Structure 1
Amino acid sequence: MEDRKVRWGILGTAEIATKVVAGMHDAENAEVVAVASRDLGRAQAWADEQNVPQAFGSYDELLADDSIDAVYLPVPTAHRNDWIKKAARAGKHVYAEKPLADGVEDAIEVCKENGGQFMDGTMWLHSNRTHEIEQRIANGDIGEVRRVTSAFTFKAPNKEWYEGGNGRTDKTREPMGCFGDQGWYPISATLWSFNYELPEKVQMTHVSKNSIDTIVACGGTLWFSGGRMATFDAGCELAHRSQVETVGDAGLIKIEDLVGGQGRSGFFGAYGEPFTGSSYYILGDVDGKDTEQQVEPCDHVVKLVEKFSSIVLSGELESQWPERSMACHKVMSALFESAESDGAVVAL
């Protein structure tokens, strides 16, 4: 049993699945055994290209395969909850892409009822760098966290992309638009910095929409108890940034390549292909002196898959992962409510 690997199936051939399947191949305790698409020809072509042994012409067929332990769900946000539930009821553990959709609470509960682990696809949370910084914060190396500033932005490649040609800019595919897709990262980084304490209230202070009424850029404020606060921005109207600054009363920590982990190099391939990075962060002291801290580089996807697979193999589910997912979704939903209410302050 010690050498057993978790057998994975993939529901869908979305672009992000190409990056994830590569990480699954490299993970020590995982084995990719099948992929499903609504079209068998597409599934087979993808399976051949990505070195996956079995292709199915429907998601239900893959879920009916009792030899599969866990599934990865890169299906569109609007359809994600249904497939989370179906997968859980078929006895599968579920790794689902983010953002999450309204009603995900029920989907996560179905996972729990059926003895399945749920985890969302926030890859950076699993890096060596993230674990080291978590320990620094817990140890009080920067004192009490009081402020967080975060962002994930990039410039839309062309007008067609901006005006709904991409899933992020078309609310029929991504209900929260770029806020859903890109905003998840600064919001998750904010909550992570505050050890997943929920803010008391939030406000979307800026919203920009395209011609089909989809959020393409936004920014906001989160207020926490005791005068602590966070600000963020996200979208496809500005130069590329992927960063978080976590500030305490005794120091600060800065990450300038949060999502891809590729540094300020302009190497965007890290977002869509196998990549080993996240090798440093900045530690600042109370007087303003910064020092660069080196960390063992890693591939975020490999680390996520190995963590998930280790949970499955142990038979001991970890509640922190669905709890983190729900915290982020709850805050995202409140900020989206604010955006749709002309920037009203929304209490949590």
Structure 2
Amino acid sequence: MNSGQGVLVEGIEKSFGEVSALRGISFHAEPGEVLGILGPNGAGKTTTVNVLSTLIAPDRGRAVVAGHDVVADPAAVRRSIMLTGQYAALDDMLSGFENLVMFGRLMGLRKRAARARAQELIGEFDLTAAAGRKVGTYSGGMRRRIDIACGLVVRPEVVFLDEPTTGLDPRSRQSVWDLVSDFKNAGITTLLTTQYLEEADALSDRIIVIDHGVVIAQGTADELKSRTGGSFCEVVPVQSADLPALNTALSGLLPPDFRTTGDSDRIAIPAPDGHRTLAEVLRRIDAAGLDVIDIALRRPSLDEVFLQLTGHPATENEPAEVAV
């Protein structure tokens, strides 16, 4: 990729004392691309964002954001990015409108321009009714919206969203999802760190998985899912007592250690031939006179990919990353 666009990371390392947070991270994000960054707590996601947003300096390696080196020209990087963390960094004693004006002034806008831009963003983020209220009275979703709006006072080239929907209600979460789509349509590069795997699946053009400070996998969601073995046919009998008979009817299609789900009330069959496998399963079930409550051709979830890659589910609690 052209290092003058998007994000380019080459061999970044970062340690805090004896703790190696990043161990040779390398990846890139193209202009207008949404890159999902997945990993358990302590994997290095936030440290990566902190390096790219110039909050901390790398020990080794090179990172270029919007054409600017994070070490050689951090001021230019900061002028080119928007960073939204897990907690909104706002002045609770100021109104939403006043926060926006303040950010505009800090970004170098003249007073009139800052007020005009604030008014535009208040409308765009559906905050007109609350514009004059102190931010301390805002709900979590409203705080997140005004926080993101503050980062857009001046149009960024690269956006870092560090777990932006943590703690949000479904409606506010959907608003953030819609915003990510707007960034993509505007040609803005977006790096999205999240532990919500369906969020990464829905929004990301590509995904990198970080564990213990190393990129252990990268690709599209479909490419990552294919690593778990592709599609499978899932069959749920009306009665669990029919499982042995179902197993017999599907003999030859099932692997020796066929997969069960939940409390072993169903059978999952590898379906390399897709709908043809499904059709054969249906034929055998009908011939055996068995009743099923559900049968479907499914694909692996990103949760299953995460489990396979890291050895534990995404919701498993791990030590938090080193605070800086």
Structure with greater contact order relative to length (CA < 8 Å, sep ≥ 6)? 2
Give your verdict on TM over 0.5.
no
Task: Work out which of the two has the higher radius of gyration on C-alpha atoms and give 1 or 2.
Answer: 2
TM-score w.r.t. structure 2 length? Answer: 0.31
TM-score w.r.t. structure 1 length? Answer: 0.30
